[in-house]
Chain A
Amino acid sequence: EAQVTQNPRYLITVTGKKLTVTCSQNMNHEYMSWYRQDPGLGLRQIYYSMNVEVTDKGDVPEGYKVSRKEKRNFPLILESPSPNQTSLYFCASRLSRDSPLHFGNGTRLTVT
């Protein structure tokens, strides 16, 4: 089954404790991206990647890192999480720039 898989689904952590949210897709998509969704603000792109070893900042990259060492994986790294990063996070992939996005089922992160 074609899908985007994120883990974990739920994560509660404390300020400053490094964490990684994993994202994997099995559709051989070139493009992958990370979003956060907050009430009243909609979906905002954090980082995106157009191919292996090619990443770029989205609209809200501060406090996040990504890597794209393999085509299928695109982890999101929070080196020192803060409470303002409490949010619902989605990973997405797409075949090309004008293709529809396929979303993972989300990671709900709480930073206390």
Chain B
Amino acid sequence: RKEVEQDPGPFNVPEGATVAFNCTYSNSASQSFFWYRQDCRKEPKLLMSVYSSGNEDGRFTAQLNRASQYISLLIRDSKLSDSATYLCVTPSGGGSYIPTFGRGTSLIVHP
């Protein structure tokens, strides 16, 4: 079952670059979506919720496209500290209580 798919990367970008990740989902009943950041061998941490109207938090912008069934994460002015794996998650799909995680996109920001 591959209900949420992400390009694993790695995305290798210089500091200051703008980078965007997409995440496609197959369950059209999914109501909410989230982006998480995970550093190596640490727990995933909530980065952003994704709303239909889009959501912006500083350098980060998340958007949802229900017609094409994907969510996106845009990072502007990349910092070295942005290097991590970014996971997209839908907590439930229709009647399911099992969250579906993408396998993550690896971002490496270099000097």
Q: Is there a chain B Cβ closer than 8 Å to A14's Cβ?
A: no
Q: Interface of chain B, helix or strand or loop or mixed? A: loop
| Residue of A31, A42, A108 touching B97 (CB-CB under 8 A) | A31
Query: A residues bordering B, Cβ < 8 Å?
Result: 31, 33, 40-43, 45, 48, 50, 56, 58-59, 88, 90, 94, 97-106, 108
B54 to chain A, nearest CB (A): 17
Q: Is there a chain A Cβ closer than 8 Å to B89's Cβ?
A: yes
Report whether B44 and A43 are in contact in the complex, using a CB–CB cutoff of 8 Å: yes
Number of A-B pairs whose CB atoms are under 8 Å?
55
Report whether B99 and A101 are in contact in the complex, using a CB–CB cutoff of 8 Å: yes
CA distance A45 to B100 in the complex (A): 9
Q: Is there a chain A Cβ closer than 8 Å to B103's Cβ?
A: yes
User: Size band of the B side of the interface?
Assistant: 20 to 34
Report whether B44 and A103 are in contact in the complex, using a CB–CB cutoff of 8 Å: yes
Q: Is there a chain A Cβ closer than 8 Å to B87's Cβ?
A: yes
Report whether A100 and B49 are in contact in the complex, using a CB–CB cutoff of 8 Å: yes
A48 contacts across to B, CB distance below 8 A: 97-98
Report whether B41 and A101 are in contact in the complex, using a CB–CB cutoff of 8 Å: no
Report whether B98 and A58 are in contact in the complex, using a CB–CB cutoff of 8 Å: yes
A41-B103, A42-B104, A94-B91 as given contacts; A103 in contact with B43, CB under 8 Å: yes
Q: Is there a chain A Cβ closer than 8 Å to B101's Cβ?
A: yes
Which interface residue of A56, A58, A88, A101 has the most chain B CB atoms within 10 A?
A101
B37 to chain A, nearest CB (A): 11
A18 to chain B, nearest CB (A): 25
A-B contact sample (12 more), CB < 8 A, given A43-B44, A48-B97, A94-B91 = A41-B103, A42-B87, A42-B103, A45-B98, A50-B97, A90-B44, A97-B91, A97-B92, A100-B89, A101-B44, A103-B45, A106-B42
